[in-house]
């Protein structure tokens, strides 16, 4: 194989890899965004109708669908400009090299401890709260218009921020690593039609931020004191403190550490099996 053939093959592989990466990212984003799921279903219905019109010789329907398909790209850009912008912003927010800061085990335990200490107090005293933890996607656009704090995380500070009559208690607190970056942040609310109408603005904002990013949102209801955790596009409602703590610990684990833990578990199982065999012998 000549050098030119190798170069041509490498170019083709790179071309296909980039295309698959784009498709994967689009499908991954569509899965987490309710609006884009509805758009995708609409496009799929139009394609199915077009195929059916060709197979069944439905001339009138076929002509109408041709007009729709011809003008669809322009209409799509105009009508769904906010969704397209969100996708581009999501690509810009994603950190290809990982988080701003990968927390150590001790730092992660401290973050969870301080959050849960404040949540326990606010649950007991019916104080509404919304705490958002940044992961791989940057939340800079929600930090820009909020009140900057850049303070060390503590349960006392979280409680004071959400204490009634505090000017910042209505917005969300955003954490980056083990620090409180800002308070009073305004988050997008979820448009998911399946959400219970009993849920208020805080819960909808918690679900909205995890539908558009990979953040974690901890919500305390002001009316009932119930604790909820939103993560990976889903809202876990009315959790016990222990359940909420376990979800936070699991969600904050770095991906690499998960693989290492799995390897360690496998090694421990193998070692225990060998020990058992030796004892039996």
Neighbour tally for 182: CB within 10 Å:
24
pLDDT above 60 (res 16): yes
What's the pTM value of the predicted model, to 2 decimals? 0.64
10 Å CB burial of residue 244 (0-12, 13-18, 19+) is buried
Same domain, 221 and 112: yes
Same domain, 29 and 140: no
Check residues 218 and 261 and name the one with the higher pLDDT.
218
pLDDT of 249-262, one tens digit each?
999 987 654 444 44
Name which of 230, 222, 224, 228 is nearest 163 in CA terms: 222
**Residues 236, 230: Cα–Cα separation, whole Å:** 6
Q: What is the pLDDT of residue 205?
A: 93
Q: What is the dihedral of CA 88, 100, 34, 45, to 10 degrees?
A: 50
Q: How far is CA 102 from CA 92, 133, 135, 177, 245, in A?
A: 20, 13, 9, 7, 19
Same domain, 208 and 69: no
In a domain, 247, yes or no: yes
Question: Given the structure tokens 């904050």, which residue do they identify?
Answer: 252
Across the beta sheet with 172-176, the strand order is 147-152, 179-185, 172-176, 129-133, 216-220, 227-231, 234-239
Domain hosting 48: range is 3-93
In a domain, 272, yes or no: no
pLDDT of 80-135, one tens digit each?
676 666 666 655 555 444 445 577 888 899 999 999 999 999 999 999 999 999 98
54 contacts: CB under 8 Å, gap ≥ 6 = 62
Within its chain, how far is the Cα of 64 from the centroid? 39
Same domain, 30 and 143: no
Check residues 281 and 56 and name the one with the higher pLDDT.
56
pLDDT above 60 (res 265): no
Same domain, 176 and 113: yes
Same domain, 61 and 111: no
In a domain, 173, yes or no: yes
In a domain, 122, yes or no: yes
Same domain, 88 and 154: no
Same domain, 246 and 127: yes
Percentage, residues of the chain above pLDDT 90: 36
In a domain, 266, yes or no: no
Supply φ then ψ for residue 94, to 5 degrees. Answer: -65, 140
Same domain, 146 and 249: yes
Same domain, 205 and 72: no
Same domain, 196 and 138: yes
In a domain, 228, yes or no: yes
In a domain, 118, yes or no: yes
- Mean residue pLDDT of the chain comes to 80
Same domain, 158 and 33: no
Domain total of the chain: 2
25 contacts: CB under 8 Å, gap ≥ 6 = 91
In a domain, 29, yes or no: yes
CATH for 118:
3.40.1700.10
């Amino acid at each position: 194989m000549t050098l030119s053939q190798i170069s041509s093959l490498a170019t083709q592989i790179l071309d296909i890899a980039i295309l698959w990466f784009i498709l994967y990212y689009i499908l991954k984003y569509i899965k987490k965004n309710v609006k884009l799921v509805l758009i995708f279903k609409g496009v799929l219905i139009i394609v199915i109708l077009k195929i059916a019109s060709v197979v069944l010789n439905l001339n009138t329907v076929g002509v109408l669908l041709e007009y729709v398909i011809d003008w669809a790209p322009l209409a799509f850009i105009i009508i769904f400009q906010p969704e397209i912008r969100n996708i581009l912003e999501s690509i810009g927010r994603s950190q290809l090299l990982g988080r701003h800061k990968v927390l150590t085990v001790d730092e992660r335990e401290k973050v969870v401890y301080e959050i849960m200490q404040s949540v326990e107090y606010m649950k007991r005293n019916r104080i509404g709260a919304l705490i958002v933890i940044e992961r791989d996607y940057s939340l800079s656009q929600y930090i820009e218009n909020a009140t900057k704090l850049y303070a060390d995380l503590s349960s006392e500070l979280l409680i004071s921020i959400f204490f009634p009559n505090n000017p910042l208690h209505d917005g969300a607190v955003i954490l980056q690593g083990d620090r409180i970056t800002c308070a009073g942040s305004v988050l997008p609310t979820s448009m998911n039609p399946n959400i219970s109408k009993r849920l208020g603005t805080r819960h909808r904002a918690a679900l909205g931020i995890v539908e558009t990013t990979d953040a974690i949102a901890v919500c305390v209801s002001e009316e009932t004191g119930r604790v909820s955790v939103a993560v990976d596009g889903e809202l876990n409602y009315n959790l016990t403190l222990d359940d909420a703590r376990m979800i936070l610990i699991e969600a904050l684990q770095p991906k690499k550490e998960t693989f290492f833990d799995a390897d360690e578990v496998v090694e421990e199982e193998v070692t225990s099996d060998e020990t058992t065999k030796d004892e039996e012998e």
